């Protein structure tokens, strides 16, 4: 099932809208980095890998999820996401970009998110909206600085 999730994530991410910003080459490079972050997020969720979650976030990152207090810092985010995904089996993650703004070493992306999973032997799908801010670290890779995910409907 894991290869199917990764393939689905890759297909969906490559079909997202074009970014806005400075040069086309820079835009595509940054968009590719963001797409990679989402793919790695999907993999970490599927594998329930807290270390992999941590690698996605900057040291001073913040995570805001529906019905949960704001989580600050890489270590706390790892713990939170481990607890969030621990009891479920993620079967799909679909991210659809609506906007992308790039400025220097920071970029902001907004869009919709759909996450399918199995919890207590029941298939469920949550739908929501997100705002993502990423920054290019001094050590090179882009990392999540802020992620806000508002899940506003659930089908069972």
**pLDDT tens, 3-54?**
434 333 433 444 444 444 456 667 888 999 999 999 999 999 999 999 999 9
- pLDDT tens, position by position, 98-140: 999 999 999 999 999 999 999 999 999 999 999 999 999 887 8
Q: How far is residue 86 from each of residues 8, 44, 118, 119, 137, measured CA to CA in Å?
A: 22, 11, 11, 10, 29
């Amino acid at each position: 099932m894991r290869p199917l999730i990764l393939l689905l994530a890759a297909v969906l991410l490559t079909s997202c809208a074009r970014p806005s910003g400075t040069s086309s080459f820079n835009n595509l490079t940054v968009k590719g980095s963001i797409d990679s972050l989402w793919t790695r997020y999907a993999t970490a969720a599927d594998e329930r890998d807290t270390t992999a979650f941590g690698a996605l976030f900057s040291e001073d990152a913040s995570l805001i999820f529906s019905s949960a207090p704001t989580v600050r810092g890489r270590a706390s985010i790892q713990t939170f996401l481990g607890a969030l995904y621990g009891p479920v089996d993620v079967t799909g993650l679909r991210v659809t970009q609506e906007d992308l703004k790039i400025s220097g070493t920071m970029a902001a992306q907004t869009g919709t998110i759909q996450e399918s999973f199995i919890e207590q032997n029941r298939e469920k799908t949550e739908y929501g909206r997100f705002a993502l801010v990423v920054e290019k670290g001094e050590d090179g890779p882009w990392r999540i600085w802020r992620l806000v995910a508002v899940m506003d409907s659930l089908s069972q």
